Structure 1
Amino acid sequence: MNKVQLMLSVITLLIVASCKKESSKEEKVTCQMTSVTVELISSEYTSSSTKNYTYDDKGRITKMKDDLGNEMSYSYSSNQIIEESPLIGFNSNYYKGVYKLDASGKIISALKTRSLDGETENSIVKYLYDSDGYLSEIQETSKDVPVFYYYSYTNGNLTSIKRTGSADTRTRFTKILYYAKDLAPSDFFANYKREILNTGLLKAYFGKASKNLISVIEEIGSLANYGPSLPSLWVSYDYKKNAEGNVSQMIENGEIGGIPLTINEFNFNCK
């Protein structure tokens, strides 16, 4: 092989390698959840509502608004996030949460203000993380009553939450989480339960998220609204994914394989 042929071969290889890189860049798709429609199901009636999400140019959610007119706005700076709802209804109900961030961008504290029927309530919250970056403890004080949440993980997934500290023993519980084999897409969020923060709308700011989709949540303890004699309460979840691999549907069942409680339909905008 002469020098000219060798040079042509090298150039050809470089062109092919460059095309492969460009192709991989073009194939990378980013998605944002634009809305979720939740259908509530009971033995007596069904109802549905839709939440729509607005994003800024950095991909952060700036507004959540439902079809009933309720909305929540989000503003961001280098050291805090402000979550705020406007005055709603005749009773002027109001909510504002000011979340403080550490240098790595994790939420470490919050001051939450709620106004309901003319009465204002403040709660102070601290968030602690383990050495691996997972949320490990929440310390929340409202009306001088402290409540503690303790989080445990196995193989990259949140597997238990224990709530203690409240004077009302009916509100103490342990929740055990089980997981499906499917991985949780990075652009998917859902409000499973109030205290499961690494799957919610602000999950990127509460440490590492669980790597798999939740399949079952079991609540153990003296359950308020269900009676102390009930040993545990089970809720299971089934999922469907679309062509891009996003979760397009999540069905919440009252028991494993039982009647659905809610059907969640998710929509995404992918680029």
Structure 2
Amino acid sequence: MTSVTSRHSDRRISPVFVGILAVTAVTGWATWTGFAQQPGVAVFLFVTAAWIVSLCLHEYAHARTALHSGDISVGAKGYLTLNPLKYTHALLSIVLPVLFLIMGGIGLPGGAVFIEDHRIRGRWRHSVISAAGPLTNVLFAAVCTAPFWLGTMDDVPTGFRYALAFLALLQVSAAILNFLPVPGLDGYGVIEPWLPYGVKRQVEPFAPFGLLFVFALLWVPSVNGAFFDAVDAVLRALGVGDSASYCGQSLYRVWEAAPDFCSVSR
């Protein structure tokens, strides 16, 4: 009986995550209705809270897939509660992604659930566990852009439309970055089980620096331009125009004045 009770508690949704969901819902309502005196404040809080929700779901997807692949230790570690404070590196999983969102408006991938690889049998399972996280970002992007590609955007208030467009940009950028085959990112985790042992041993020391390497590359103007061209191309394919995502980011940056054409009518 004790073990069953413990197992249920290991998988019970954390009050911390419920609180983040509540903030997302309230600020989403404020963005939709134009309740806030400053629309940018509502957009800032809504996008930040929704971004943290997506980070939690990203890590949960890794953990849940690992659980069904044989790593039963993820429950005891608290990964199935959706509590961001339970991650191995809360700094990498939550703090840095939110910080870079505020600084540069980019969906920096987090990552910090520790999977016990020796419990998992089969290369395909290892690949699926790594892919589960960024696929969550893909699904999140599809949900955010649904009003755009379903042609129902006329019924969505302007401020909420801009917020969804910017949130979609974050999800698409996070998915693209995460799927890069760079050590330390999920894309490398997908292909790693299929690489020769010698190659994996040579690459292993560079894994902690993979994310930093990618982020440094994004400071190169030509690389940054090519990356965001790819993000914008995906968004356009989903029906999101460049102006919508730009205005969403402009409203999000409440410390800067948004262009006049990004104004939100009540």
| TM-score in terms of structure 1 length | 0.26
Q: As a proportion of its length, which structure holds more helix?
A: 2
Q: Which has the higher contact order (CA 8 A, sep 6+)?
A: 2
User: Based on CA coordinates, which of the two structures has the bigger radius of gyration?
Assistant: 1
Q: As a proportion of its length, which structure holds more strand?
A: 1
